[in-house]
Amino acid sequence: MSNYHIKQFEEYFQVYRKSVRNPEQFWEEIAEEHFTWKKRWSNVLSYDFKKAEFKWFEDAKLNITENCIDRHLHTRGDKTAILFEPNNPDDEAEHITYKQLHERVCKFANVLKSKGIKKGDVVCIYLPMIPELAISILACARIGAIHSVIFAGFSATAISSRINDCNAKMMITSDGSYRGSKTIDLKSIVDEALNETPGIESVLVAKHIQSDINMKDGRDFWLAPLLEDTSSDCAAEVMDAEDPLFILYTSGSTGKPKGMVHTIGGYMVYTAYTFKNVFQYREEDIYWCTADIGWITGHSYIVYGPLANGATSVMFEGVPSYPDYGRFWNIVEKHKITQFYTAPTAIRALAKQGTEFIEKYDLSSLKVLGSVGEPINEEAWHWYDENVGKKKSPIVDTWWQTETGGIMITPIPFSTPTKPTYATLPFIGVQPALMDENGQELKGNQVEGRLCIKFPWPAMARTIWGNHQRYKDTYFSAYDNMYFTGDGALRDEVGYYRITGRVDDVIIVSGHNLGTAPIEDAINEHPAVSESAIVGFPHDVKGNALYGYVTLKDVGESRNHENLRMEINQLITDRIGPIAKLDKIQFTEGLPKTRSGKIMRRILRKIAANETDQLGDTSTLLNPEVVQDIINNVK
Ligand code: WTA
């Protein structure tokens, strides 16, 4: 028997040792015993860190939807696979059984085929958190099309640049979405994006908010009538384990977003195995991850990981504050949620409301609480533990990334003793290393450095779509024979890891990764702006908020600064989306630069964080005088 389900701390160590002593044998056993393959692999793993090439389960054939749906039909056909909780609490929740999911995915897959989508084609999806989102993803996977989900909060410009980058042929969207008391007209955003995307041949539109929208003849099609006329038989395409499953964009510290490519076999094995253990999932559980499927957390831990285990996975369309701040707890009580997985920013926002909203609801069904997306601060950790978990439900602080595909550092609940703000220990098969700035590995405990991973794991991203060189440069060139995460971390006296935050120019705002470069590019488009620099500063709900230092072309210009601020934020909203708006904008005479002309963000970060006593030596700057000027005029 393989070690599919770890139940004790001792067992964790045993299995961990086995997984790193002989990774190939370990993953082979897991893959063999718990998944359905159409053909076995010829080789478990081959890799070359220098070329940044990694292959797991080479030559194996499978279809991930057979693993996530078909194989459960005999034993769990009438079990709820997806439990959809709509935005409006008065609307009924929808229980989609595995049988129904099978039928809906097959029909959807046939619709894709009827519109000319074939294996290897890229399909972009821009949908709210409604069942069609999960179903369209699975329908792509059924026929071997590569899905690329774009979070439905991104702007038209962000959508078109992603569509063009991945050469998508089709877009799947809806008339609109509900967000609390608001509705958002998604289709008009898509229409604007599609003015710039010659490659898109067809658009499928789900009717959701019943709004009046523009449908372009010959290009746009309502989904419902197409689905109605379609057969529910759709054989699963035979895929190679290393064929791409999806592309998901994530911010980089420079340049445009990176289309991270995940492949089928390794991703499936790893997300399923981590889901089972990190959430100690059992057959009767009702699992809820509050993330949006537009992010990696939703891909791996709303769709693929849970369904591969035959779980019931909740999809929530709404927001935590609607109709009031008790909504999450209302849902926990209503569906008797057993595992609840959310982000620190949500916990902080809810904690701000006090405990009055929590006390109204029975949360006794909860067994495991999860946190993901950014470091969880001590206060939020304790609030979560005391008020939500009633000190009985272990908190799994799970560290991972879009690039890692699945959870990498985490406690195993009921086994690993937790420690506030610590992601604790590497998951099975994960070999972390802390590196110093000179490229030396920091051995032993009580050290702090840059977090790297020393050995391949099955769910690692395989490349950046269309730009393998960038993949190699970003992740595999900082240190030899290692994957560099971009995060800093420390290892405490017992070997527990605590993630200290990004060491590059990615800023995590409310759990969303934002690169400084695209935001600065958007600001610099403003005709009055000469230069800009963005840094993060601590924010009590969002974790970090954005501070922009902006120099104007005509310094003496008497334009109203408040108007300029609004215009700049509007530009950011148009180019990227409202999540990237700046909280503070300071107009400066200049930006501190090194003699080679590089903006010294480190200094700007200290000023934004009000730590001006820790600026260090500024005398070597090209223009040291601007520093004092900036400090004197802090926003
Ligand atoms: C951060 C989200 C501290 C980290 C799954 C990482 C975390 C980035 C944690 C990836 C955590 C994620 N503790 N920091 N538990 N989880 N991060 O790609 O900086 O959206 O590099 O993936 O989020 O964000 P991404």
User: What's the 3-state SS for 260-271?
Assistant: EEEEHHHHHHHH
Ligand 1 atom nearest residue 402's Cα: 18
Q: How far is the CA of 181 from the centre of ligand 1 (A)?
A: 30
Look at ligand 1, atom 14, and give the residue with the nearest C-alpha.
Answer: 374
Q: How far is the CA of 389 from the centre of ligand 1 (A)?
A: 22
Q: How far is the CA of 195 from the centre of ligand 1 (A)?
A: 34
Interatomic CA distance for residues 392 and 367, integer angstroms: 7
Ligand 1 atom nearest residue 423's Cα: 15
- CA-based nearest residue to 239, from 143, 169, 307, 149: 143
Q: What is the pLDDT of residue 594?
A: 82
3-state secondary structure of 54: strand
- HSE, CB side, 13 Å, CA atoms: give it for residue 112: 33
Q: What are phi and psi of 528, to 5 degrees?
A: -85, -10
Return the CA Rg of the chain. Answer: 24
Sign of the alpha-carbon dihedral angle for 40, 45, 47, 52: positive
Cβ(471)–Cβ(463) under 8 Å?
yes
| DSSP percent split of the chain into helix, strand, coil, nearest 5 | 35, 25, 40
End-to-end, the C-alpha distance of the chain in Å comes to 62
Q: At what angle do helices 23-34 and 9-21 cross, to 10 degrees?
A: 110
Ligand 1 atom nearest residue 410's Cα: 15
Which tokens belong to 578? 């409202």
Cβ(531)–Cβ(555) under 8 Å?
no
Ligand 1 atom nearest residue 398's Cα: 15
Which tokens belong to 587? 């107009």
Neighbours of 212 (CB within 10 A): 7
Residue 30 has pLDDT above 80, yes or no: yes
pLDDT digits (tens, 9 = 90+) for 563-574: 999 999 999 999
pLDDT digits (tens, 9 = 90+) for 462-505: 999 999 999 999 999 999 999 999 999 999 999 999 999 999 88
pLDDT digits (tens, 9 = 90+) for 413-458: 999 999 999 999 999 999 999 999 899 999 999 999 999 999 999 9
Q: What is the pLDDT of residue 556?
A: 59
pLDDT digits (tens, 9 = 90+) for 312-338: 999 999 999 999 999 999 999 999 999
pTM for the whole structure: 0.94
Going along the chain from its start, the domains and CATH numbers come out as 9-489 (3.40.50.12780), 510-633 (3.30.300.30)
Q: Is it true that the peptide bond before 592 is cis, omega within 30 degrees of 0?
A: no
Interatomic CA distance for residues 331 and 327, integer angstroms: 6
DSSP state of 579: G
Ligand 1 atom nearest residue 295's Cα: 20
Residue owning tokens 């997306």: 373
Ligand 1 atom nearest residue 506's Cα: 19
Q: What is the pLDDT of residue 635?
A: 78
Q: Ligand 1 pocket test: pick from 513, 514, 542, 579 the residue with the most ligand atoms within 8 Å of its Cβ.
A: 513
Interatomic CA distance for residues 19 and 5, integer angstroms: 14
Q: How far is the CA of 334 from the centre of ligand 1 (A)?
A: 30
Q: How far is the CA of 399 from the centre of ligand 1 (A)?
A: 6
Look at ligand 1, atom 6, and give the residue with the nearest C-alpha.
Answer: 401
Q: What is the pLDDT of residue 554?
A: 78
Q: What is the pLDDT of residue 400?
A: 98
> β-pairing, 483-491 with 447-453?
antiparallel
Q: What is the pLDDT of residue 619?
A: 80
Residue 523 has pLDDT above 60, yes or no: yes
Q: CB-based contacts of 603: which residues, under 8 Å, 6+ apart?
A: 592, 615, 616, 618, 621, 627
For range 23-33, the mean pLDDT: 98
Ligand 1 pocket list (CB less than 6 A): 250, 295-297, 371-375, 397-402, 423, 485-487, 499, 502, 508, 513
Interatomic CA distance for residues 11 and 593, integer angstroms: 53
For 426-578, list the strands marked E by DSSP: 432-435, 447-453, 463-464, 483-491, 497-502, 506-509, 512-515, 529-539, 543-552
Q: Looking at this predicted complex, what is its ipTM?
A: 1.00
Angstrom distances, CA of residue 338 to CA of 279, 286, 370, 469: 9, 5, 11, 43
Look at ligand 1, atom 1, and give the residue with the nearest C-alpha.
Answer: 374
